[in-house]
Structure 1
Amino acid sequence: MKHYIKKSFALLLVSIIIMMSIIAQPFSIQAAESLDLNAESAILVDGGTGKVLYAKNPDVALPPASMTKMMTEYLVLEAINTGEISWDTTTQISDYPFSISANPSFSGVGLTQNKEYTVRELYEAMAIFSDNATTIALAELIAGSEGEFVKLMNQKAEEMNLPEYKFVNTTGLDNESLGDNRPEGTDPTGSNLLSAKSAALLAYHLVNDFPEALEISSQTEVEFEGYTIENLNWMLPHEATFLQQFHYEGMDGLKTGNTELAGYTFTGTAERDGKRLISVVMKTASKEERFQETKKLMDYGFNNFEKQELFPAGHQVEDESVIDVAKGKEDTVDVSLKEAISIPIKPEDAEAYRIKYSIDEEKLNADGKLTAPIEKGEKIGTAELIFEGENNYGYIFSDKNQTVDLVTNDVVEKSNWFMLTLGAIGDFFANLFTTSVDWIKGLFS
């Protein structure tokens, strides 16, 4: 009897544990969705597809502080890529960046005039230590002046389709603090502005167009002017004991920022098992908080999303797999997806996705048919991925969903003149018969 009671109690205990784990699981997912971020604005993006995984006030334009330098970095790397300059190109420091470097309130590394600095030295100080003077020196090298470089920044922002932006200088400082040294043609009291979505899109272009940016941003420290400067990104593997608590596995970039107006900002990126995430937090309260909130975002992305092939190449939507063909040896042609659609999703959301076809109207005749001849693999429209679940944040590029080409599966040759003539005669008599029947019906109505 005692043995029976003990066995029953053990089974009851196991059942309670299982039930508690089942109850706790959806709660943890819900908690992850809310995240409770201590940031005025934030976003999390898949670095491969551009799919937005989480967003909080992502379209509010705020001062980005030194996250501004991501655009400066992009333009420098673009100039290197086009051959306008190279990593070994040298330049001297003009009076303006020299004065900035000598001002402790601007976090200067301390530059020397009448000395040649390489682009690599200046870029590393900018990207790793967030130095303002070396940023201005690079801008002057490329565009002749910071004011002209600012024009390039705004032009590139437009090309990238950043939704909310304004650049008034290269560094992220407030123009008012620069006094008479503010870039010519800019607002004397102006500040740079970016939304979290714009900052994430800028970072997306930076790491995908120029992966070498991560080779530099991932360096914990670098030698400059005979001494060591340390990366302000505490989520990298620093040796200092205090900073080790912020280390995040896979983190290799990207840009911190801080001004009195902006608060503490951070654009981070990390890669694990081939999956890259990009996060942005804006207007947090402290250095520590911006990294703590970034960790929340990164954990949410890595723990809750996995890349799945939702629809394989060749997939056909039921009841929409064929399109009528005119003047062909076949009356219809099969259509399907040219490429597979694979995106990061929550596994439980897989059934909430569907495909919507959009046929190119210019490919159709007046009767809504494709006209032969038709090649195999010919693009006749697009297939759009539609999500019908909750919390659809869309993509970083625009409000549009992901699309792939919709193509034909077979060749449809044009029918010969004899068959076309017979078809035309058949159509004539069919139309004549229909007209006659309608006329006769009209007599008795």
Structure 2
Amino acid sequence: MKQTIKKGLSLLLISLVIMTSLIIPSFSAQAAGTVDLNAESAILVDAKTGKVLYSKNADVALPPASMTKMMTEYLVLEAINNGDISWETTTQISDYPFKVSANPSFSGIGLTQDKDYKVRDLYNAMAVFSDNGTTVALAELVAGSEAEFVKLMNQKGKEMGLPEYKFVNATGIDNADLVGINPNLTDENGSNLLSAKSAALLAFHLINDYPEALDISKQTTVEFEGYTVENLNWMLPHDATNFKQYYYEGMDGLKTGHTILAGYTFTGTSERNGNRLISVVMKTASEDERFKETAKLMDYGYTGFQLTELFPKGYKLEGESAIPVAKGKKDTVQVSLKEGVTLPINPDDADKYHIVYNIDKDKLNKEGELTAPIEKGAVVGTATLTFDGENDFGYIFPENGSTIDLVTDNAVEKSNWFMLTLGAIGDFFANLFTTSVDWIKGLFS
């Protein structure tokens, strides 16, 4: 009987273990910074706040291959937005992009000279299946030549604050492979360079400044030159059976890349329940590995972090929010956060975030007071978000994204001349009394 009971309990325990493993998802890789990636460099970023959720060698500049085309896409969309060209603008193919398109070692479909191509069709070919000839054609249309377009690329990189970058062409092909094809090479051994952080920041600007880029990058197929061509991003919902194993819910961009020097690269972006993430993997070993590693990053972001309001708009730091006021009808003014602080965080780390006030000393007098009159909502300093835990990777932006303006909650009028005079007289006699007391004490010391 006892053995029967023991056997029953054992079976029950095993059943509970199995059921628990089925019900509770695995979080084996959810501790911050512990994703095991087969990539030389990688980063994961929240696309709304710019918060970096994961980073691996993300500041190392590497050849990005065709991820370069994200900058080309940005400048083409900017030219359309500025009215310099339109989606219906047509152009013809010069000798250089024609030679690029005719080279079987470069991705793309052969182009035809003496034919009008619409910007929309050229852009689709560039963004969806990474056609290099159409990329050069667009660069020439926007800037007159690829060389001039490269100047725009580097200028825009500076404006965006990309930390590590160098652009030598519009496509991402290594210049060494363009010898004899591009007649205007100035650096025959040059290669484009981007760090994973720079690639993520470039993607951040592309999809936030021009969301229509995602309408194009999410297409699984496009028609071009009489061909139906599959998107090189296998994580999209392709109909082809061999791609279905890579499908990732919410994925709608952004750009693949591959050269011998760069290996296999991918900048991905996906959105679930209004939460968009941007990932970059660089120098992976194969086509499928770049997508498998991207899935790891995305899973890490969606399961390990929750968008959380840490401090609401108007939050006041207890004991530090009353700032003394000189020459005002009130002696103090309350200050608070101008904006709330909402970030994707590990729920276990919520109590590790704190606010530190930094009052602008240039706005204070020698006694450390603000001087009336003071307007409501006046910026008097900043509040800095601090984190007491481990693996705080910061933000994608060059500036500190964890700084929030401190503003006054109400206005303080300047006191009238009569009250200011009384105050001055009071201060005079108070000082006189103090001086007299000190003088008398001195007589008896």
Give the TM-score range, shorter chain: over 0.9
**Whole-angstrom distance in 1 between the partners of 2:414 and 2:11:** 73
**Whole-angstrom distance in 2 between the partners of 1:273 and 1:250:** 9
Deviation of 1:399 after TM superposition, in Å, equals: 5.9
Give, as a single letter, the amino acid of the residue that structure 1 aligns with 2:235.
M
Change (3 A) 1:49 1:104: same
Deviation of 1:91 after TM superposition, in Å, equals: 0.2
Instruction: Name the structure 2 match of 1:141.
Output: 141
Instruction: Name the structure 2 match of 1:284.
Output: 284
Deviation of 1:188 after TM superposition, in Å, equals: 1.6
Q: SS of the counterpart of 1:104?
A: coil
**Whole-angstrom distance in 1 between the partners of 2:47 and 2:206:** 11
Given that 2:108 and 2:129 are in contact with CA atoms closer than 8 Å, whether structure 1 keeps it comes out as no
Give, as a single letter, the amino acid of the residue that structure 2 aligns with 1:369.
E
Give, as a single letter, the amino acid of the residue that structure 1 aligns with 2:265.
T
Instruction: Name the structure 1 match of 2:208.
Output: 208
Deviation of 1:17 after TM superposition, in Å, equals: 4.5
Higher mean displacement: 298-307 or 182-191: 182-191
Aligned: 1:310 with 2:314: no
Instruction: Name the structure 2 match of 1:121.
Output: 121
**Whole-angstrom distance in 2 between the partners of 1:441 and 1:175:** 87
Deviation of 1:362 after TM superposition, in Å, equals: 2.8
Q: TM-score, normalised by structure 2?
A: 0.94
Higher mean displacement: 312-321 or 428-437: 428-437
Q: SS of the counterpart of 1:34?
A: coil
Change (3 A) 1:292 1:321: same
Change (3 A) 1:413 1:31: closer
**Whole-angstrom distance in 2 between the partners of 1:12 and 1:113:** 74
Q: SS of the counterpart of 1:415?
A: coil
**Whole-angstrom distance in 2 between the partners of 1:380 and 1:357:** 10
**Whole-angstrom distance in 2 between the partners of 1:99 and 1:182:** 8
Unaligned runs of 5+ residues in structure 1 are none
Instruction: Name the structure 2 match of 1:352.
Output: 352
Change (3 A) 1:25 1:104: closer
- CA RMSD of superposed structures (Å): 2.5
Change (3 A) 1:443 1:171: farther
Given that 1:147 and 1:183 are in contact with CA atoms closer than 8 Å, whether structure 2 keeps it comes out as no
Give, as a single letter, the amino acid of the residue that structure 1 aligns with 2:73.
E
Deviation of 1:435 after TM superposition, in Å, equals: 3.7
Q: Deviations for 1:322-369, whole angstroms, at most 9, x for unmatched residues?
A: 000000011001111122111111111100101111222232222211
Give, as a single letter, the amino acid of the residue that structure 2 aligns with 1:318.
E
Percent of aligned pairs with the same amino acid: 73
Instruction: Name the structure 1 match of 2:387.
Output: 387
Q: TM-score, normalised by structure 1?
A: 0.94
Instruction: Name the structure 1 match of 2:96.
Output: 96
Which structure 2 residues correspond to residues 172-251 of structure 1 after superposition, within 5 A? 172-182=172-182, 184=184, 186-251=186-251
Equivalent pairs counted in the alignment come to 443
Q: SS of the counterpart of 1:421?
A: helix
**Whole-angstrom distance in 2 between the partners of 1:263 and 1:72:** 21
Give, as a single letter, the amino acid of the residue that structure 1 aligns with 2:308.
Q
Instruction: Name the structure 2 match of 1:52.
Output: 52
Instruction: Name the structure 2 match of 1:261.
Output: 261
**Whole-angstrom distance in 2 between the partners of 1:246 and 1:121:** 27
Which structure 2 residues correspond to residues 401-416 of structure 1 after superposition, within 5 A? 401-416=401-416
**Whole-angstrom distance in 2 between the partners of 1:2 and 1:115:** 89
Q: SS of the counterpart of 2:179?
A: helix
Q: SS of the counterpart of 1:110?
A: coil
**Whole-angstrom distance in 2 between the partners of 1:436 and 1:183:** 91
Given that 1:265 and 1:283 are in contact with CA atoms closer than 8 Å, whether structure 2 keeps it comes out as yes
Q: SS of the counterpart of 2:45?
A: strand
Deviation of 1:10 after TM superposition, in Å, equals: 7.5
Instruction: Name the structure 1 match of 2:171.
Output: 171
Change (3 A) 1:32 1:352: closer
**Whole-angstrom distance in 1 between the partners of 2:424 and 2:70:** 64
Given that 2:268 and 2:279 are in contact with CA atoms closer than 8 Å, whether structure 1 keeps it comes out as yes
Instruction: Name the structure 2 match of 1:70.
Output: 70
